[in-house]
Amino acid sequence: MSKREDKVDEIRKNVLSVRISRKELPDIGDLVIGTVYRILEHGAYVLLDEYGGLEAYAPINEVVQSWFHDIKDYLRLGQKTVFRVIRVDARRRLIDVSLRKVREEEKREKLAKWKRTLKGVKLLELVAKKLNMPLDKALQDFGWKLEDYYGDFLSIFENAAKHGTGDLRKLGLSDDVINAINEVAKERIEVESTEISGVIRIISIKPDGVRHVKEVLLKAMDLARKEGIDGVRIYTIGPPRYRIDIVGKDPKKLELVLKDVVNFITTEIKKRGGEASFTRIGE
């Protein structure tokens, strides 16, 4: 095998072999991700990543800005970039694309979206392996359905990691599929911590009211820690106002913990002859 053939083979390995687009062919005007694999004097051939490596052609006048420039000033072998489809011959499966007809803003947005799509597809491929099925079948059976619901493939796993499998069950997926998605999400998605806060106003007219407030707030912090969150802080911002910060990875769980903490403080202070009122920050 020649060095040129080796290079082409290497480039093809970096292009998805499975069509992740639901359409067999793109439409005129579509923005597509293309990987450059042959550069000639009259144009370049690219492999369309979203269409399983379908070949497309970029004529030189749709690449260079003027005849004084060389096509290699704009494209290089193995480069992934954004093209606009300018011609489709469905019968012969021939596609022409343009680099010049893509605005810089469109290019940035498409590449950012592609980065998320590729990561999501790789995770979906792991799910398919756990289920002993090829990726194209996984896409047809549940992948595209989930893409419709969540907006993109990566969001499927981000949502499962953050909020669990409730939404997946509502969509009528089998337990095997749900469990596989949940496993991959836990293994591969790192959920960033988030914080919710509020201010609680506590009044105690007893002579030793400060002691009562302190005891109740310490017990409230212990209660929150037992819920398995990442962190909790309760501190004064000027008596009788105290700020509560709850930190963790599951927003829904944080809301429940904050509610429990506020209810506990309100109930305990009332038992001790005081009163409390709460205001949420950020709502």
Give CATH for domain 194-281: 3.30.70.1130
10 Å Cβ neighbour count for 15? 21
**79 with 52: CB under 8 angstroms?**
no
The fold for domain 3-101 equals OB fold (Dihydrolipoamide Acetyltransferase, E2P) (2.40.50)
| Nearest Cα residue to 200 out of 121, 138, 276 | 276
Query: What top-level class would CATH report for the domain 106-188?
Result: mainly alpha
Q: How far is CA 110 from CA 37, 107, 181, 231, in A?
A: 20, 5, 26, 38
Tell me the domain boundaries of the chain: 3-101, 106-188, 194-281
Q: Give, for all 283 residues of the chain, the pLDDT tens digit.
A: 566 666 778 898 889 889 999 999 999 999 999 999 999 989 999 999 999 999 999 999 999 987 778 899 999 999 999 999 999 999 999 999 999 999 999 999 999 999 999 999 999 999 999 999 999 999 999 999 999 999 999 999 999 988 888 889 999 899 999 999 999 999 999 888 889 999 999 999 888 989 999 999 999 999 999 998 999 999 999 889 999 999 998 888 899 999 999 999 999 999 999 999 999 997 6
pTM over 0.85: no
Q: Count CB atoms within 10 A of the CB of residue 118.
A: 18
Residue 23 CB coordination number (10 Å):
10
Q: How many CB atoms within 10 Å of residue 21? A: 17
Q: Which residue is listed with tokens 């605005």?
A: 103
Q: Are 279 and 273 in contact (CB under 8 A)?
A: no
pLDDT of residue 28: 97
Helical packing angle, 209-226 and 251-271, nearest 10°: 150
